[in-house]
A = this chain, B = another copy of it.
Amino acid sequence: MSEFIAPLERLVESFQRLPGIGRKSAVRMAFATLELEESRAVEFAEAILSAKRDIRRCGCCFNLSEAELCPICSDESRDRSTVCVVEDTRALMSIERVREYNGLYHVLGGVLSPMDGIGPDQLTVKELVARCADGEVKEVIIATNPNVEGETTAMYITKLLKPFGVQVSRLAYGVPVGGDLEFADEVTLYRAIEGRRAL
C-alpha cells in the first residue's frame, strides 16, 4: 500500500528512478514539484521530453549533441589531429572547463567492466579505432578515470591503437594541486614520486 494518493506516488516513483535518489529525497522533490507554479511545472515536464527527443549522440565523437555533429566536432578552430578519450560527457565537460585543451574528443560511453557485462562492444571502441585508422589523428590522450576499470580500459585502447602509429598518452597521476601531502593516499603518492619531473 502506498502512503500517498496515486498522482503523488507516481511522481515520487519517477524521482526515485534517478540513480542516487532515495525515497526521502524523492518525496521531498515531489512535494517541491507540487509547489511549483503551473508554468514552471509545464516547463519541467517539457524539458524532460525535449531532452529525450532533441538530444542525440554526435556522429563523430559520441558527445551529446542537438545536430549530427556536436559543437566541438563542428568547430573549425579545433585541432583535429588530437583526440582525448573520455568515459562520458561529464568528463568531457570537466576538461572543457579547463580551457586548455583544443583538440577533439571521443566519448567511450563507459569503461570495460566484465563484472557488469561491459566489453569493448558496449563501448564506442570500434569507432575510435576507425577514427585513428583515418590518418588525420596523430595523438590520443586517454583520460579515463584513475581507477582500476579506467586503467584497464586505457591499456586495452593503447594496445588496439598501436598498429596505427598514433601517439597514445595518459593523463598524469600525482598529488592534486592545493592538496596536502599528509592526506594523499599511498598509491597516489607512489605515482607522484614515480612521475616526478625535473625542475
User: Are A45 and B43 in contact, CB atoms less than 8 angstroms apart?
Assistant: no
SS of A interface (majority): helix
Residues of B within 8 A of A54 (CB): 7
Q: A17-B44, A40-B17, A44-B17 are in contact. Are A30 and B51 (CB under 8 A)?
A: yes
In-complex Cβ contact of A34 among B13, B41, B64, B71 (8 A): B64
**Chain B residues within 8 Å of A27, by CB:** 90
Q: Which residues of B contact A97 (CB under 8 A)?
A: 3
A20/B28 contact (C-beta < 8 A), A5-B66, A52-B41 known: yes
In chain B, what residue has the closest Cβ to A67?
A: B5
Within 8 A of B (CB), among A15-68: 17-21, 27-34, 36, 38, 40-55, 64-66
**Complex interface: chain B residues within 8 A of A50 (CB):** 7, 10-11
Interface residues of A (CB under 8 A from B): 3-8, 10-11, 13-14, 17-21, 27-34, 36, 38, 40-55, 64-66, 70-71, 89-90, 93, 96-97
